[in-house]
Amino acid sequence: MSAQRLPASSFIMEKKTDFLSRRDWLWGVNGHNRDYPAYPEERLEDQIRLAAELGVTLYRFNYTPDNDDMFAYLDKVVDLCGRYGLKVFLVAFDLCFIGYKNPEKLYATARRIAERYRGRIPLYQASNEQDIPALDLARLKDPIGNERSHYDMARYADIRRCMEQILKGFKDGDPQAKTVVNISWRHTAVLDLFTQDGLRWDVTGLDWYWALDDHGQNNIVDTLERLAALPAPEILVAETNSWEGDYRVSEEQMREYNRRAMEYYYTYPCEKLKGLIFYELLDEPDKEGGEGHFGLALNDIRGNIGRKKLSYLDISACLHRQG
């Protein structure tokens, strides 16, 4: 994809906060595995290099290896991330657990992964946004998800059994690695149910693409306070960007949302909140609508990386010391 040149003055917003002053804070970016057309294996190093140039230290990446070829690919990802100064945050078992018949198989796979990468992968997320399939959508229209009554308990039970096995497998495979459970939007009550049923994890992940309001439908304050009340000692904003990236809004508005998110979370008064991960590194042109426009850089259907968007340039300026 040919690079479109924009005026230098439009790249970067005025920097007000020192985003490198906190030693306990992690910045990251999301990528995807080789099964996504926008992220082909032959351009893997270009992807990792672009993530590193952003100035982040975490590369959140979804993959669940279960054979030699798949492990060889993940070996390459981990090695390249190490070479470019990144740590892998692995999201595994991104699948449907409703009616899943063999949760013990999940344990064995999770343990095998964590044993293989012991000391090399510091964060393992057990599946992804399992709050959504647990919602009782047959009975309720657009539930907020912050009350236990918003969930289908039969579906929840299937999910809980699988999550328990995955979390245990990761911990048994590498006791020093941190386990992560994430939710989307305000679906906090599923985490209350997990906690009530004895599940424990180290980091709660929040995926948030909405307004940063302290009231109303998108009440991020209430959401963060509910997460802070859980036993897990840390919180990461595991995915963020303007809703649908720059599909419905301009690049300038996407940049402004992400800068505001950086300011908001970095200065939010919660000791448990430890990091922010942008979604995502590259546009995915094979996807319809906004799903294809979350990237911080342009990309074509074959994974040829194009111009860095305004938000990439602004984030990078914030995460590199000047002078």
* Domain of 22, in residue numbers: 8-318
The span from the CA of 61 to the CA of 186, in Å, is 23
Q: How far is CA 150 from CA 181, 217, 317, in A?
A: 19, 16, 42
Residue with tokens 């351009």: 43
> Measured at the alpha carbon of residue 19, what is the angle toward residues 18 and 23, in degrees to the nearest 5?
105
How does DSSP assign 158-197, residue by residue? HHHHHHHHHHHHHHHH-TTSEEEEEEETT-THHHHHHHHT
Q: Is 2 part of a structural domain of the chain?
A: no
Q: Is 323 part of a structural domain of the chain?
A: no
Is residue 128 within 8 Å of 94, Cβ to Cβ?
yes
The span from the CA of 18 to the CA of 119, in Å, is 30
In this structure, what CATH number is given to the domain that contains residue 239?
A: 3.20.20.80
Q: How far apart are the first and last CA of the chain?
A: 33
The sign of the dihedral angle between the CA atoms of 238, 182, 186, 25 is negative
Q: Is 121 part of a structural domain of the chain?
A: yes
Alpha carbon of residue 127 to chain centroid? 11
Q: Is 157 part of a structural domain of the chain?
A: yes
Q: Is 32 part of a structural domain of the chain?
A: yes
Q: Is 3 part of a structural domain of the chain?
A: no
Is residue 308 within 8 Å of 273, Cβ to Cβ?
no
The span from the CA of 283 to the CA of 294, in Å, is 6
The span from the CA of 38 to the CA of 32, in Å, is 8
Number of domains in the chain: 1
Q: Is 193 part of a structural domain of the chain?
A: yes
The sign of the dihedral angle between the CA atoms of 113, 114, 119, 120 is positive
Q: What are the 10-residue block averages of pLDDT along the chain, 323 residues in total?
A: 35 76 98 98 99 99 98 99 99 95 96 99 99 97 97 98 99 99 99 99 99 94 98 99 95 98 98 99 96 97 97 98 59
Q: Is 314 part of a structural domain of the chain?
A: yes
pLDDT at 321: 74
pLDDT at 96: 93
pLDDT at 15: 66
179: left (phi over 0), alpha (psi -120 to 50) or beta: beta
